[in-house]
Structure 1
């Protein structure tokens, strides 16, 4: 199943996770639910979860990402590797991020995608960051005014979720879920989560790069709407609301399209690289490659 056709994410906590044929099972005192593994983009495991080896094998075989998170899903601990056969995206990403002019070009394009109608080609990274900061601050003010929810700035303590005000709690929960979904798409395409263009130095730099394309449209308005409603468990409601917004696959399709647009030439074949055949080749110098699994000693 293509990355853009999967469910975005499912968050589980305080349950035992096993495998039943081609489904993941989650068991607690209320019973058992079955989740088809091939339909999952990301499985987020919260506190109190126990997962079996066979369940992890099935997730790997299905090309789905497993992310271990903390209470309320707002702290990232680790992730499992998904199955990507093609290195085409990874090679393109590495080539672009290690060339200063190419990296700047991609970074400018990332900002251009957030400023429709504006020309970013001549702006420095400092100027682009300034514009982005002003855009996000403006978004916070507009949604605060729209909902009547007071906004005094971003306040996020990974050690104490409850210490933040409701809108910051909703932002934290929604953003972590967004990161999990974006992470699942990135590794499904065979890209590296750590090779970022704007963010750098972190194992999920590219995840933050891509997620930042969508926060103003998704998680910021969602957080203010929830803070206005004052639900009992705002973290859980934020995850459910974000999943509802992503329902139907349109977001996954958009995310795949945006990553492809940033890393590959627009005229390059749009085949499903994450489902390409498991073919290994040998580098032959310059731009050439030859078949692997062949004895070449007779050529000497």
Structure 2
């Protein structure tokens, strides 16, 4: 049999689990290509090599040109490419993940399609955000009320801590520079967080649009998960940046979020939280350490019993 043309896929043994990867890398005004198993970024200052198998999300900003081979390598490495606007504060599209199993996706669909289980997951999400508070028995209106009060209190606390004046969250997605420095910083920090969470969600094979608290948007589940971490990451970082009176709020905020995540614990926490939230009843969904470590297994659905193996000719002698 003739060899398949093109570069050989990255061996599975060389790939890194999602929770052990770099969080995100933002590029702009450069040419993105491939050199063996590394992504290269070239501009007038030179060329930087980026190990694709250790990258969670590559944020491609304005002025970037990406080659087909670079995208092939990202796909084979289980990394996600996200096309974003200037300063990384607007989302346009993202690349495919390398998830080979639909187990978490099916669990997510079952849980979100039943009001009882959807409310249970929503309560657990709020419980993560309100440590020490009992969310048992609360309906969605009560949960939203608690969230609103808590977030307003956080804004006031960080305003007092940093001396940054705070009135309210006010921004125009089409006019980033028109917002106050703290609102610009919040937008930039949240978008950076969304990119990393989006990479985790698709790497695990989940549906970004099937949210439990948020609904109706293609990134509803991304917003659900990202909200778990805003109180500890994006809100304090945004107020710290606004207090420093920097020249480029978007870039400084993005770097601050990146530096905060350098330790590697964020991805591990995010992966663990997604898997825990999508458990069914009292059982945690059994899922391998990484989506792309599972072999390609295609099953055929049978409403009378368990799924049966695909790739088999079934007939009268079944």
TM-score by length of 1: 0.97
1:280 equivalent to 2:298? Answer: yes
Matches within 5 A, 1:76-115: 76-115=91-130
Does the residue aligned with 1:297 lie in a helix, a strand or coil?
A: coil
Does the residue aligned with 1:42 lie in a helix, a strand or coil?
A: strand
Is the CA contact (8 Å cut-off) linking 1:88 and 1:273 kept in structure 2? no
Q: Which residue of 2 aligns with 1:271?
A: 288
Is the CA contact (8 Å cut-off) linking 1:189 and 1:273 kept in structure 2? yes
Q: Which residue of 2 aligns with 1:12?
A: 27
Q: Which residue of 2 aligns with 1:181?
A: 196
Is the CA contact (8 Å cut-off) linking 2:278 and 2:284 kept in structure 1? no
Question: Which of residues 270, 285, 301 in structure 2 aligns to 1:255?
Answer: 270
Does the residue aligned with 1:199 lie in a helix, a strand or coil?
A: coil
* C-alpha distance in 1 between matches for 2:196 and 2:115: 29
Is the CA contact (8 Å cut-off) linking 2:53 and 2:77 kept in structure 1? yes
Runs of 4 or more, structure 1, over 4 Å off, are 265-268
Offset of residue 23 of structure 1: 0.7
Offset of residue 287 of structure 1: 5.1
Q: Evaluate the alpha carbon distance shift between residue 278 and residue 257 of structure 1 in structure 2; reply closer, same or farther with a 3 A threshold.
A: same
Matches within 5 A, 1:14-53: 14-53=29-68
1:149 equivalent to 2:164? Answer: yes
Q: Which residue of 2 aligns with 1:291?
A: 309
* C-alpha distance in 2 between matches for 1:187 and 1:286: 31
TM-score by length of 2: 0.92
Gaps of at least 5 residues in structure 2 are 1-15
Question: Which of residues 71, 77, 82 in structure 2 aligns to 1:62?
Answer: 77
Offset of residue 269 of structure 1: 3.8
What CA RMSD, in Å, does the superposition of the two structures yield over aligned residues?
Answer: 1.2
Q: Evaluate the alpha carbon distance shift between residue 36 and residue 286 of structure 1 in structure 2; reply closer, same or farther with a 3 A threshold.
A: farther
Offset of residue 286 of structure 1: 4.5
1:218 equivalent to 2:233? Answer: yes
Structure 1 residues 8-45: Cα deviation after superposition (integer angstroms, max 9, x where no partner): 00000000111111111101000000101111100001
